[in-house]
Amino acid sequence: MKCPSCGSLEDRVIDSRTGGDGLSIRRRRACQDCLRRFTTYERIEAHRPLVIKKDGSREPFNRDKILSGLRKACEKRPVSEERLEEAVERIEQTLQERGETEMDARVIGAILVEELKNIDPVAYVRFASVYQEFTDVSEFTRLVTDSDGGDSAGGDSDGGDSAGGDSAGGGSDDEKPRGVKDTDGAP
Q: Which domain holds residue 18?
A: 9-45
> Does 177 map to a domain?
no
Tens of pLDDT, residue by residue over 42-85, are 877 666 788 999 899 999 989 899 999 999 999 999 999 999 99
> Does 164 map to a domain?
no
- Dihedral angle computed from the Cα positions of residues 140, 145, 147 and 151, in that order, rounded to the nearest 10 degrees: 110
106 vs 102: CA distance, rounded Å: 12
> Does 101 map to a domain?
yes
CB-based burial label for 113 (10 Å; 0-12, 13-18, 19+): middle
What's the pTM?
0.53
> Does 93 map to a domain?
yes
User: Helix axis angle, 105-119 relative to 81-98, nearest 10°?
Assistant: 140
Residues 80, 104, single domain; the answer is: yes
Stated as kind and residue range, the H or E segment containing 97 is: helix 81-98
Residues 51, 131, single domain; the answer is: yes
Tens of pLDDT, residue by residue over 1-52, are 899 999 999 999 999 998 776 778 899 999 999 999 999 988 776 667 889 9
